Amino acid sequence: MKEALLYEKLNARVVHCYLCAHYCKIANNKFGLCGVRENVGGVLYTHTYGNVVASHIDPIEKKPLYHFLPGSNSFSIATIGCNFRCGFCQNWEISQEPAYNEGARLSEEEFLPQDLVEEALRNDCPSISYTYTEPTIFFEYAYETAKLAKAKGLRNVFVTNGYMTKDCLKEIAPYLNAANVDLKFFKDSSYRKICSASLGPVLDSIKLMKDLGIWVEITTLVIPGENDSEDELSGIAKFISGVDKNIPWHVSRFHPDYKFTGYITTPEETLKKAKSIGEGMGLKFVYAGNVCGWGNDTLCPFCGKVLIKRDVFNIMEYHMRENKCAYCQNTIPGVF
């Protein structure tokens, strides 16, 4: 275990965690809601440092990030735990496993931050993605890795639910280049019922990321009967448009999983409706996720030509000159 960052010692060996927007007050010998930060004798420790449970080389498009180093691979890692309790989580086997479970999936071998950076370099990955589970709750590990990665010329990416505190985000910002934020609902009641969280901090994180110069893309998993109404999709699109019309919005197809096996797969017509709503709100880049044959290409918002043609995560055509459209020479927002 490693002593955690961003917490305060209170009386009676209680600690107050300032890492995520739950702001847990944790009694001695207890864990925070994330299940991986433990108060031991009035000192907060993290169980995730060096404990990688998943590591892969992924296309950056899988995050999904379509305007950040497109066509590159990203060395992707995760530890156990999450500060949300989403019933539709596709990685629930690792995200919903707390460290206090007997037989919890902790690494048999410790992988230090320098080990991760060396693996990324060895595999010609220009970035490291902290993903699969929630990177906020393995903050100390991601933070130390990100600092070393930046020093070696690598970029850093969070795939996140956005439920971190401002202190957390400002701490990592000098080393964090891009983030895909899940904006799951636009109703606080849905966040509370399904995720055991709330909407406001997620919206605040998106706005703060933008202010801090982090490249932001947003994903909404469109779940039939939960967030697929025109009002809710319009609310999300209007919010994104109000922050920056250049933020890419990924509306992704839901597949039944975990506690949501009784739901149907999202009809493609629903995604087409969501895409149309986003574009109607002025968003310049709206993509459909988990579908084939449409909704994945990047079009120039100025001349309408196809700049990046995709087949799932594969780039079939690329018509960019650095960050400019090869046809009309207008600048395209992103990191190319």
Asked if pLDDT for residue 104 goes beyond 70, the answer is no
Mean pLDDT of the chain: 96
Q: What is the mean pLDDT of residues 132-150?
A: 98
Across 87-91, 102-106, 233-237, least confident range: 102-106
Contact between 176 and 182 under an 8 Å Cβ cutoff? The reply is no
Q: What is the mean pLDDT of residues 207-213?
A: 98
* 300 is known to lie in a ligand binding site: no
Phi-psi category of residue 29: left, alpha or beta, with phi > 0 → left and psi -120 to 50 → alpha: left
Q: What is the pLDDT of residues 276-303, one digit of tens each?
A: 999 999 999 999 999 999 999 999 999 9
Contact between 146 and 114 under an 8 Å Cβ cutoff? The reply is no
Q: What is the pLDDT of residues 41-100, one digit of tens each?
A: 999 999 999 999 999 999 999 999 999 999 999 999 999 999 999 999 999 999 998 877
What separation in angstroms does the CA of 146 have from each of 141, 151, 155, 272? Answer: 9, 9, 8, 37
pLDDT of residue 110: 87
Q: From CA 265, how far away is CA 263, in angstroms rounded?
A: 7
Asked if pLDDT for residue 102 goes beyond 80, the answer is no
Q: What is the mean pLDDT of residues 236-256?
A: 98
pLDDT interval class at 23 (50, 70, 90): very high
pLDDT interval class at 101 (50, 70, 90): confident
pLDDT of residue 185: 98
Q: What is the mean pLDDT of residues 110-116?
A: 95
pLDDT of residue 106: 62
pLDDT of residue 109: 74
DSSP string, 10-77: -GGG-EEE-SBTT--EE-TT-B-TTSSEEEETTEEEES-TT--SEEEEEEGGGTT-SSBSTT-EEEEE
Q: What is the pLDDT of residues 149-199, one digit of tens each?
A: 999 999 999 999 999 999 999 999 999 999 999 999 999 999 999 999 999
pLDDT of residue 108: 63
Contact between 255 and 265 under an 8 Å Cβ cutoff? The reply is yes
pLDDT of residue 320: 96
* 89 is known to lie in a ligand binding site: yes
Q: Where are the chain's structural domains?
A: 2-46, 54-296, 301-336
The reported pTM is 0.96
For residue 289, give the H/E element and its range.
strand 286-289
- Please give the biggest Cα pair distance in the chain: 66
* 325 is known to lie in a ligand binding site: no
Q: From CA 17, how far away is CA 23, in angstroms rounded?
A: 5
| CATH architecture assigned to 54-296 | Alpha-Beta Barrel (3.20)
Asked if pLDDT for residue 103 goes beyond 80, the answer is no
**Closest to 18 (Cα-Cα) out of 116, 139, 105:** 139
pLDDT of residue 83: 97
Percent of the chain with pLDDT over 70: 98
